[in-house]
C-alpha cells in the first residue's frame, strides 16, 4: 500500500503563523486526536513557528468569564471559548440522552461559533489554518476561516459521514447508507468548498470519504502520525511471563471483552494490564473476576504508561470499530513493543504480519474472533518475541515526529500555493491545488463559480 507523503524536497512552508482549530485541546482530552494536535503544535513551536489554537472551554472553568479567555502552553497560545450550546464537547459523556439530539441539531450550524472564530482570526491573522475535530464547533468554522487563510483539514473520524462520529451505534459498526445521505450532502456543501487540502493518517479513512463522494475537487493525502522514539526502550528484551497490554477507552467498541475472553483460553501463563477508563470497566472487571492474570489500572500518568509499554511483550488493539490510525500503535512501536490488532479500519496498515515481506511487527486478526485472537497472542509471545521487538522499534523510525512535521509543512506549502507538486492526490492523479485556473477553495463559497 502506497504511502502518500509529500516529496521531502518540496518547498518549505514560508508562512510564520499557523492557527489550529480543534474542539478539544489538553488538558481537556477524550481521545488521541487532542494529544496529536498538541504534539504537532508544540513541534512547530520548536521549529520557530508561531502557533495559536482556537478551542472550547468547559463551562465550569472559572476563567471562561464572559465566554472567552487565553492561556499559554509550552509556547502555544491557546484561545478558549464556550460555544452556545447545551454542553461543550468535553462534557458530552455526562449528558442525559435527551440533550444529545438537541445538541447535534444546534451543531449543524452555530452562528455564535462562526462569529467568535472570525473575530479571533481577524485578531490573530494567521498564514494558514489547520482544522481538526469540529464536533461542538459546527461547520461554521470553515466558512469563517476561509476568509482569512488557506485551510488544511485532518480527518480524525467519520464526522462528515454520520451523526455519530465513530459510526458505531447500538453496539455495532455502521456502514455507509442512504439514511445518512442528506447529512453527507449537507456537509459536502458546508465544509468541503472551503478546504484547500485534506489529510488523514490512514488510507482507509480517505477511501471511506471518497467512496461517499467527498473531495472530488480537493487534494487528499495520507500523512501518518508521528511520535518521539523512546531512547529508553530495550529492543529485544522480553518479559517472563509475557505481558500483554491494552491502552485506551474501557468500552464495548474497543473490544476489551474479546481480549479477556481470548486470555481465558490461553495455555500459557501471561499477565494482562488494562490501562484506561470508561463506562464498561465494572462489567469487564466482573468478566475477569477470579483471573489473577488480569489487572485494571485505570488512568495512569504518561511516565507510568511509558513503563507499561516498555515492559509489555505485545500491545493489543482488539477494536470492534473501524479505527482511523490508533496512536496507541505508534506509541507501542516506538517503545519496541509489537502489536496485535483487529482487521478494522486503518489498523492493518500499521502492522507487518508474518505473511508480509517486511520484518514482523505483530499480528492482524479477524474482528470479533477471540479464538483467532488467542492464537495470535500465543504466537506473538512464543514465536520470536525478541526479533519482533527489534523489528517494531525499527519500524517506528518511519513514524517519527520529525518525519511527520516535515510532511505537514510540505502540505502547508502546497495548500498555500507555494508548491504544486509536493504531494500526490489520493487517487494518484495530478495534484488539484490549481483547477480550471482558480484555487479550489479559500474564497470559493458554495454558490460561487470560478
Residue 446 in this model has a pLDDT that exceeds 60: no
- Could you read off the pLDDT of 90-114 as tens digits, one per residue? 777 677 878 878 888 989 999 999 9
The answer to whether residues 83 and 108 touch, using CB atoms and an 8 Å cutoff, is: no
The answer to whether residues 236 and 222 touch, using CB atoms and an 8 Å cutoff, is: no
Residue 288 in this model has a pLDDT that exceeds 80: yes
Over range 226-238, report the average pLDDT. 90
Q: What CA–CA distance (Å, rounded) separates 342 from 116?
A: 41
If you average pLDDT over every residue of the chain, what do you get?
A: 88
The answer to whether residues 64 and 80 touch, using CB atoms and an 8 Å cutoff, is: yes
384 DSSP assignment:
S
pLDDT category of residue 185 using cuts at 50, 70 and 90: very high
pLDDT category of residue 441 using cuts at 50, 70 and 90: very low
Over range 376-399, report the average pLDDT. 95
Q: What is the pLDDT of residue 425?
A: 41
Residue 33 in this model has a pLDDT that exceeds 50: yes
Residue 228 in this model has a pLDDT that exceeds 70: yes
Of the listed ranges 170-174, 216-220, 335-339, 362-366, the one predicted with least confidence: 170-174
Whose cell is 488539484? That residue is 432
Q: What CA–CA distance (Å, rounded) separates 183 from 212?
A: 11
pLDDT category of residue 66 using cuts at 50, 70 and 90: low
Q: What CA–CA distance (Å, rounded) separates 49 from 15?
A: 8
Q: What is the pLDDT of residue 10?
A: 54
Over range 198-209, report the average pLDDT. 98
Over range 228-240, report the average pLDDT. 90
pTM: 0.88
Tell me the percentage of the chain whose pLDDT exceeds 70. 88
Residue 437 in this model has a pLDDT that exceeds 50: no
Q: Which residue has the higher pLDDT, 450 or 43?
A: 43
Q: What is the pLDDT of residue 177?
A: 86
pLDDT category of residue 435 using cuts at 50, 70 and 90: very low
Q: What is the pLDDT of residue 65?
A: 62
Residue 7 in this model has a pLDDT that exceeds 70: no
- What is the Cα 368 distance to its own chain's centre? 23
Q: What is the pLDDT of residue 2?
A: 33
- Could you read off the pLDDT of 71-85 as tens digits, one per residue? 999 999 999 999 998
Q: What is the pLDDT of residue 424?
A: 40
CA angle (87, 91, 94) in 5-degree steps: 105
Q: What is the pLDDT of residue 99?
A: 82
CA angle (342, 345, 347) in 5-degree steps: 50
CATH architecture of 243-399: 3-Layer(aba) Sandwich (3.40)
Domains 17-225+401-415 and 243-399 share a fold: yes
Q: Which residue has the higher pLDDT, 183 or 170?
A: 183
Locate the DSSP E strands across 215-280.
220-222, 243-247, 271-275
Q: What is the pLDDT of residue 60?
A: 65
16 DSSP assignment:
S
- Report domain extents, the chain: 17-225+401-415, 243-399
Among 130, 290, 310, CA closest to 238: 310
Over range 140-157, report the average pLDDT. 98
Over range 335-344, report the average pLDDT. 97
Over range 347-357, report the average pLDDT. 91
Q: What is the pLDDT of residue 428?
A: 36
pLDDT category of residue 356 using cuts at 50, 70 and 90: confident
Of the listed ranges 15-24, 288-297, 436-445, the one predicted with least confidence: 436-445
Tell me the percentage of the chain whose pLDDT exceeds 90. 71
Q: What is the pLDDT of residue 64?
A: 60
Class of domain 17-225+401-415 (CATH, top level): alpha beta
Amino acid at each position: 500500500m502506497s504511502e502518500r507523503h509529500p516529496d521531502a524536497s518540496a518547498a518549505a512552508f514560508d508562512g510564520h503563523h499557523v492557527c489550529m482549530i480543534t474542539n478539544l485541546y489538553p488538558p481537556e482530552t477524550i481521545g488521541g486526536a487532542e494529544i496529536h494536535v498538541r504534539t504537532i503544535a508544540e513541534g512547530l513551536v520548536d521549529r520557530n513557528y508561531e502557533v495559536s489554537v482556537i478551542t472550547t472551554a468547559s463551562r465550569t472553568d472559572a476563567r471562561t468569564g464572559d465566554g472567552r479567555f487565553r492561556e499559554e502552553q509550552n509556547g502555544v497560545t491557546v484561545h478558549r471559548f464556550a460555544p452556545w450550546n447545551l454542553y461543550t464537547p468535553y462534557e458530552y459523556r455526562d449528558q442525559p440522552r435527551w440533550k444529545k439530539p438537541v445538541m447535534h441539531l444546534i451543531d449543524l450550524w452555530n452562528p455564535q461559533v462562526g462569529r467568535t472564530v472570525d473575530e479571533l482570526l481577524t485578531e490573530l491573522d494567521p498564514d494558514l489554518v489547520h482544522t481538526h475535530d469540529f464536533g461542538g464547533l459546527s461547520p461554521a468554522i470553515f466558512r469563517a476561516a476561509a476568509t482569512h487563510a488557506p485551510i488544511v483539514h485532518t480527518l480524525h473520524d467519520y464526522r462528515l459521514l454520520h451523526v455519530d462520529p465513530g459510526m458505531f451505534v447500538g453496539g455495532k459498526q455502521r456502514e455507509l447508507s442512504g439514511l445518512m445521505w442528506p447529512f453527507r450532502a449537507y456537509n459536502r456543501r458546508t465544509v468541503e468548498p472551503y478546504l484547500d487540502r485534506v489529510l488523514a493518517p490512514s488510507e482507509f479513512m480517505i477511501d471511506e470519504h471518497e467512496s461517499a463522494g467527498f473531495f472530488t475537487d480537493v487534494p487528499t493525502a495520507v500523512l501518518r502520525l508521528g511520535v518521539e522514539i523512546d531512547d529508553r526502550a530495550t529492543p529485544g528484551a522480553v518479559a517472563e511471563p509475557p505481558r500483554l497490554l491494552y491502552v485506551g477507552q474501557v468500552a464495548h467498541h474497543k473490544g476489551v471483552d474479546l481480549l479477556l475472553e481470548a486470555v481465558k483460553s490461553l495455555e500459557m501463563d501471561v499477565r494482562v494490564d488494562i490501562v484506561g477508563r470508561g463506562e464498561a470497566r465494572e462489567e469487564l472487571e466482573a468478566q475477569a473476576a477470579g483471573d489473577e492474570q488480569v489487572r485494571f489500572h485505570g488512568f495512569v500518568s504518561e511516565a507510568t504508561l511509558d513503563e507499561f509499554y516498555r515492559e509489555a511483550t505485545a500491545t493489543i488493539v482488539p477494536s470492534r470499530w473501524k479505527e482511523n490510525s490508533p496512536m496507541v500503535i505508534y506509541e507501542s512501536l516506538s517503545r519496541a513493543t509489537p502489536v496485535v490488532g483487529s482487521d478494522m479500519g486503518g489498523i492493518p496498515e500499521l502492522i507487518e504480519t508474518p505473511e508480509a515481506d517486511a520484518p514482523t511487527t505483530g499480528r492482524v486478526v479477524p474482528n470479533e474472533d477471540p479464538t483467532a485472537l488467542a492464537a495470535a497472542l500465543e504466537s506473538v509471545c512464543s514465536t520470536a518475541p525478541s526479533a519482533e521487538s527489534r523489528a517494531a522499534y525499527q519500524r517506528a523510525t518511519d513514524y517519527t515526529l520529525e518525519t511527520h512535521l516535515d510532511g505537514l509543512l510540505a502540505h502547508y506549502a502546497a495548500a498555500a500555493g507555494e508548491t504544486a507538486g509536493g504531494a500526490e492526490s489520493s487517487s494518484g492523479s495530478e495534484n488539484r491545488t490549481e483547477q480550471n485556473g482558480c484555487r479550489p477553495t479559500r474564497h470559493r463559497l458554495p454558490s460561487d463559480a470560478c
